[in-house]
Amino acid sequence: MAEEIATSKKLFLNAKKNGCHNVIDFKEKLQDFNCTLTGLHRGKYRMDTMESDCAIKKFDVDRTKASTFSLIKNVRHTNIVTVRNFYDEVGQPRFVLSWVDGSLTAWVKSEGAKMLFKKSWTGRSPTPTFRQIVIDLCAGLEHLFEEGIYPIRIGVEDMFVRKAGRKPSVQLLITKAKSFVESDKVGSKNIQNGLWKQMRDAIKDIFKDHLDSQNSNDSVLSRFFEHIAEGGAKKLQNYPLDWSEKDKAKYLLKIIAIDKSEVQQKLSKVNIVWPPETVSGKLPSPLREMKVHEMTRAHPASYDVKIPYDYLKICKNMIKHWWVLPEDVKEDIIQAPDGDKKFGIICVTLHDKEESTQLTAS
CATH number of the domain encompassing residue 15: 3.30.200.20
Average pLDDT, the chain: 80
Q: For position 342, what pLDDT does the model report?
A: 37
pLDDT in tens, 62-103: 888 989 999 999 999 999 999 999 988 888 999 999 999 999
Q: Identify whether residues 165 and 262 lie together within a single domain.
A: no
Give the other-Cβ count within 10 Å of 340's Cβ: 18
pTM exceeds 0.75, yes or no = no
> Where does the pLDDT of residue 271 fall: very low under 50, low under 70, confident under 90, or very high at 90 and above?
confident
Question: Is residue 204 located within the same domain as residue 314?
Answer: no
**345 and 251 share one domain:** yes
Task: Inform me whether the pLDDT recorded for 282 exceeds 60.
Answer: yes
296 pairs with which residues across the strands?
none
pLDDT at 70: 92
Least-confidence region, from 57-71, 76-90, 114-128, 133-147: 114-128
Say how far apart CA 353 and CA 361 lie, in whole Å: 15
Statement to judge: residues 124 and 57 lie in one domain: no
- Which pLDDT score is estimated for 233? 84
Instruction: Please tell me the predicted confidence (pLDDT) of residue 170.
Output: 97
Domain of residue 129 covers 102-237
Assess whether 148 and 221 both reside in one domain.
yes
Is the model more confident about 37 or about 89?
A: 37
Shared domain for 285 and 203, answered yes or no, is: no
59 in the same domain as 29:
yes
What band does 117 get if pLDDT is binned at 50, 70 and 90?
Answer: confident
SS3 string of the chain? CHHHHHHHHHHHHHHHHCCCEEEEEEEEEEECCCCCEEEEEEEEEEECCEEEEEEEEECCCCCCHHHHHHHHCCCCCCCECCEEEEEEECCEEEEEEECCCEEHHHHHHHHHHHHHEEEECCEEEECHHHHHHHHHHHHHHHHHHHCCEEECCCCHHHEEEEEECCEEEEEECCCCEEECCCCCHHHHHHHHHHHHHHHHHHHHHHHHHHCCCCCCHHHHHHHHHHHHCCCCHHHHHCCCCCCCHHHHHHHHHHHHCCCHHHHHHHHCCCCCCCCCCCCCCCCCCCHHHHHHHHCCCCCCCCCCCCCHHHHHHHHHHHHHCHHHCCHHHHHHHHCCCCCHHHHCCCCEEEEEECCEEEEEEC
Within this chain, do residues 86 and 24 fall inside the same structural domain, yes or no?
yes
Around Cβ 302, how many Cβ atoms within 10 Å?
Answer: 9
* Strand-strand pairing, 102-103 and 149-151: unpaired
Q: Can you give the pLDDT at residue 287? A: 83
Percentage of the chain with pLDDT > 70?
Answer: 80
How many domains would you assign to the chain?
Answer: 3
Does 89 share its domain with 114?
Answer: no
Tell me the pLDDT tens digit for each residue of 295-341. 888 888 889 988 989 988 988 888 777 776 667 666 655 554 443 43
- Give the phi and the psi of residue 203 in degrees, each rounded to 5: -65, -45
- The yes-or-no verdict on residue 166 having pLDDT over 80 is no
- Residues 174-199 pLDDT 10s: 999 999 999 999 999 999 999 999 99
pLDDT at 38 over 90: yes
Last residue of a domain, one of 212, 237, 262: 237
State residue 186's pLDDT score.
96
Ramachandran class of 339: left when φ > 0, alpha when ψ lies in -120 to 50, beta otherwise: left
From 71, 98, 125, give the residue that closes a domain: 98
Query: How much is the pLDDT for 333?
Result: 58
What is the reported pLDDT for 326?
66
- As to burial, measured by CB atoms within 10 angstroms (0-12 exposed, 13-18 middle, 19+ buried), residue 344 is buried
Q: In terms of domains, do 111 and 41 share one? A: no
Domain boundary among 66, 98, 130: 98
Measure CA 178 to chain center: 24
pLDDT on residue 122: 54
Nearest to 41 by CA among 93, 79, 91, 96: 96
Q: Are residues 206 and 287 in the same domain?
A: no
What are the backbone angles phi and psi of residue 351, rounded to the nearest 5°?
A: -130, 140
Backbone angles phi, psi at 45, to 5 degrees: -120, 125
How far is Cα 68 from Cα 64, in angstroms, rounded to an integer?
6
* Neighbour count for residue 58 (Cβ, 10 Å): 15
Task: Report the alpha-carbon distance of residue 310 to residue 293 in Å, rounded.
Answer: 16
The C-alpha atoms of residue 197 and residue 202 are separated, in whole angstroms, by 9
The β-bridge relationship of strands 167-172 and 21-31 is unpaired
Q: Are 213 and 264 members of one domain?
A: no
Residue 50 has a CB neighbour count (10 Å cut-off) of 7
